[in-house]
Structure 1
Amino acid sequence: MFGIEHIAASFNIAYNLNVVSIETADEFMAPVNNIVQINNNDHPPKYKVTIVGSGNWGSVASKLIASNTLKLSSFHDEVKMWVFEETLPSGEKLTDVINQTNENVKYLPGIKLGHNVVADPDLENAVRDANMLVFVTPHQFMEGICKKLIGKIRSDAQAISLIKGMEVKKEGPCMISTLISQQLGVNCCVLMGANIANEIAVEKFSEATVGFRGNREIAENWVQLFSTPYFMVSACQDVEGVELCGTLKNIVAIAAGFVDGLDMGNNTKAAIMRIGLREMKAFSKLLFSSVKDSTFFESCGVADLITTCLGGRNRKCAEAFAKNGGKRSFDELEAEMLQGQKLQGVSTAKEVYEVLKHKGWLEMFPLFTTVHEICTGRLPPTAIVEYSEHAPKFPIALNPDTFQ
């Protein structure tokens, strides 16, 4: 029986042997062991980390990062975490409780974050001294957050986004990492993967992918900051591909939830996931020709799709929606079932639908289109499989090689 230590050890051996590099990986099968080794300089820079966001995933990220800043000489011990202030039923402020108990009692109860995590309700104060910014908030809030931070961050700051979603503007879709880079003038990587936060919080083995553009050294810093024996992080030079995988899988998870709610069975769910993966790949490549096939075989791709369709909150809420025949809105279900967390799949489906409609691609993406129309009440939940009867209308069904 192999434990986490054995798995981690095998990963480390593979890294040290440099068996496969990112550049030489087979086009269709990305390497599992592609974390780049960090070069330790005699006088490494001291990095200060701030996490912008304190929900379920943001709190787990703070736990991962705080454990590493204590061990790594190139990082300051303290990790700031910006908290959108809330008053708890007890009358206490959430920030005060986090700092007193070292626990986010609302979004991650029962888990200690690390004594070096400091919650701060003042956004500008939280980021003031940081040169490594971790963004992990619902994507619909990011434009407002970025506007508040313009001119307020260090000139040498670098960022990473753990956010799934996109902004749709008149000129076209804008990925969250692009929004951060453009508004704040920083290099922004992304981290996505098969990461159900509560499982990572209790240190169950998981993987993630850091997507980066051109600066390998920056990617190495992020890999080092997040990696633990139970959370293995690899790097992939494909920001758009990694980010779109993390974004689009939530739409497919909504579809999987409809299937579960209607008790359609595992065969149907597997079919929906396969069609969804195909549409994820096709949509990504139409938006960004640079997206790599190999990215879809990383943790951010097929692995994240599987875990989200099996156990994520988007699937859970969509299941409840279908069981009620679409009579209860997603806003109502979100408020009742997620305890303050945000549902990303419904808003992402709307944003993707707007892109498809604007570009005349609706018939090329029947699953994405159908999910949005069910969410908005135009179609019943049972339509999630009925669209396949009209498959000959859709080029993607007729010609699987269209987007390869």
Structure 2
Amino acid sequence: MSSGSKYRVCLVGSGNWGSAIARIVGENVKRYDEFNELVLMWVFEEMVEGRKLSEIINTEHENVKYLKGYKIPENVVAVPNVVETVKGATILVFVMPHQFVKRVCEQIREYLEPDAFAVSLIKGLDTSKKGLVLTSSVIGDTLGGVACSVLMGANVANEVAAKHFCESTLGCTDADQGEVLRKLFHVPYFRVSVCRDACTVELCGALKNIIAIGAGICDGLGYGSNTKAAIIRIGLKEIMRVAKDLFNGGHESTFLESCGVSDLITTCYSGRNRKVAEAFVKTGKSFSELEREMLDGQKLQGPSAAAELHRTLKEKGIAEKYPLFTAIYRTCYEGLSPRELLENI
């Protein structure tokens, strides 16, 4: 960034989590001189009670569909066109379903500022011919090599919006960008720590949703805390094994940050993946049916992450080393009954 200029921030996404983080970003850009106070936020346009969602946000300063009851700062402006949102921005905050990331990045890459960098708040996975791909890599590669950090942690959107104290982990390999991004996100009730082990930070955020499916199945079957604790412990060990087998390790201390064990515990006791998995057991409906019925337009990450991971593990011939991940995949896609899941780990 040239001397004397200010960082211009945009939010690529505006769902439940995107709107919650917009409350923090909107206030922090006014707190520090290095940021331009205007924040553009891309809104996937939809009608809510006969009105455009973007118009509601810009007049009432509230996302009445995805984060009802919490005001968004007036300097955060909703824009229904993603290209117009990113034009002129030097910091791109990605917070949207991971299934749409590549397509959106393809739309915006020719409109980026030459000194732009990104940060992903997205907990998801993808695959390529080379194997498992983290969302930050999809963003960076599709945008032509743009640096992409990650922000992951035990962060339930509604609790963050309500200003309940929590922590989050900022994974970045560039120290200068890490300092800027920490200023963008850190507030007393949302404590951000910086970690250079960015790959592991993101991997924890992506894989914990699979474990939450197992936790929700336990709840649906009526099992207690002992069983869920076992699922969490086994799941954490398998996440650490993925880091070693597929990503050349990762520091053990990273798993003790908010992005690791804290996020895993939170997700296994709350959140959409756990909730839908419990309903999967109790209703007998498919995950896709329940996603449509229960999430009001939000996306379920656990089953898709399980599928992406299993594909890579199977191709590498190491699926048997991951009994919990494999059993959850089979329950989601191959008809393994919920009660059989525990017999297979």
SS of alignment partner, residue 76 of structure 1: coil
The one of 311, 319, 329 equivalent to 1:354 is 311
CA distance in 1, matches of 2:133, 2:334: 27
Post-superposition CA distance 1:161-194 (Å, at most 9, x none): 0011111112211111111111212110000000
Residue aligning to 1:211: 171
Mapped pair 1:375 → 2:335: no
CA distance in 2, matches of 1:183, 1:353: 24
Q: How does 1:114-125 map to 2 (within 5 A)?
A: 114-125=73-84
CA distance in 2, matches of 1:183, 1:253: 29
The one of 26, 41, 44 equivalent to 1:84 is 44
Residue aligning to 1:330: 287
Post-superposition CA distance 1:191-221 (Å, at most 9, x none): 00000000000000010000012x1010111
Q: How does 1:5-404 map to 2 (within 5 A)?
A: 45-88=5-48, 90-184=49-143, 185-213=145-173, 215-324=174-283, 327-388=284-345
Q: CA deviation at 1:290?
A: 4.4
CA distance in 2, matches of 1:102, 1:251: 34
- The letter for the 2-side match of 1:207 is E
CA distance in 2, matches of 1:170, 1:63: 39
CA distance in 1, matches of 2:247, 2:5: 34
- The letter for the 1-side match of 2:287 is F
User: Is contact 1:252–1:368 with CA below 8 Å preserved after alignment?
Assistant: yes
Q: Percent identity?
A: 51
Q: CA deviation at 1:240?
A: 0.8
User: Is contact 1:103–1:110 with CA below 8 Å preserved after alignment?
Assistant: yes
User: Is contact 1:259–1:384 with CA below 8 Å preserved after alignment?
Assistant: no
CA distance in 2, matches of 1:54, 1:361: 38
In the superposition, the TM-score normalised over structure 2's length comes to 0.97
- The letter for the 1-side match of 2:320 is E
Q: CA deviation at 1:45?
A: 4.0
- The letter for the 1-side match of 2:122 is I
CA distance in 2, matches of 1:208, 1:293: 17
CA distance in 2, matches of 1:310, 1:346: 17
Q: CA deviation at 1:378?
A: 2.1
Note the residue ranges of structure 2 that are not aligned, 5 or more in a row: none
CA distance in 1, matches of 2:242, 2:318: 9
SS of alignment partner, residue 174 of structure 1: strand
Number of corresponding residues: 342
SS of alignment partner, residue 209 of structure 1: strand
CA distance in 2, matches of 1:270, 1:44: 52
CA distance in 1, matches of 2:196, 2:341: 34
- The letter for the 2-side match of 1:364 is K
User: Is contact 2:243–2:249 with CA below 8 Å preserved after alignment?
Assistant: no
Post-superposition CA distance 1:320-357 (Å, at most 9, x none): 10112xx2011111111111111100100110110111
CA distance in 2, matches of 1:249, 1:44: 41
Q: Which of structures 1 and 2 has the bigger CA Rg? A: 1
User: Is contact 2:117–2:148 with CA below 8 Å preserved after alignment?
Assistant: yes
SS of alignment partner, residue 37 of structure 2: strand
Residue aligning to 1:23: none
SS of alignment partner, residue 123 of structure 2: coil
Stretches of 4+ moved more than 6 A in 1? none
Q: CA deviation at 1:377?
A: 4.1
SS of alignment partner, residue 179 of structure 2: helix
In the superposition, the TM-score normalised over structure 1's length comes to 0.83
CA distance in 1, matches of 2:25, 2:244: 33
Post-superposition CA distance 1:252-274 (Å, at most 9, x none): 00000000000111101100100
